[in-house]
Amino acid sequence: MHTEPPEKQPGNALPLIPESGIIAYNLREGERPDGLKVRFKIRIATGTEARELDARQAETIWRLLQWAQQNQHSPGPG
């Protein structure tokens, strides 16, 4: 049994995260839905840029939720 925190255990080292840049991750073949190739690209932002992106993302999510609520379809009979 390990008594050290996970980040201190062998094989569980946390990857270094750059302060700015882009991190790309490709899903392995067994992790892919229906065999599709999936790639995540994560852009790192800090400071003012991060706050602006957070505000844009929150506004976009809010609009999507409003749209989804307005466009709900009630199931018909039968």
Walk along the chain (78 residues) and give the pLDDT tens digit of each residue: 445 454 555 566 656 666 668 888 888 888 888 878 888 898 888 899 999 999 999 999 999 999 999 998 766 565
Q: Is 74 a member of any domain?
A: no
What's the pLDDT score for residue 20? 63
Structural domains counted in the chain: 1
Which pLDDT belongs to residue 21? 83
- Cβ 65 vs Cβ 58: under 8 Å: no
The three-state secondary structure class of 48 is: helix
Q: What pTM was computed for the model?
A: 0.48
Could you tell me if residue 44 is inside a domain? Answer: yes
Torsions phi, psi for 16 (to 5 deg) = -70, 135
CA 8 to chain centre: 25
Domain extent at residue 26: 18-69
pLDDT at 10: 57
- Continuous segment of H or E residues that includes residue 66: helix 47-70
Asked if residue 46 is part of any domain, the answer here is yes
> CA dist 42 to 14, 20, 24, Å?
17, 10, 6
Q: Is residue 77 part of a domain?
A: no
pLDDT tens, 27-36?
888 888 887 8
Strand partners, 23: 42
Query: Does any domain span residue 28?
Result: yes
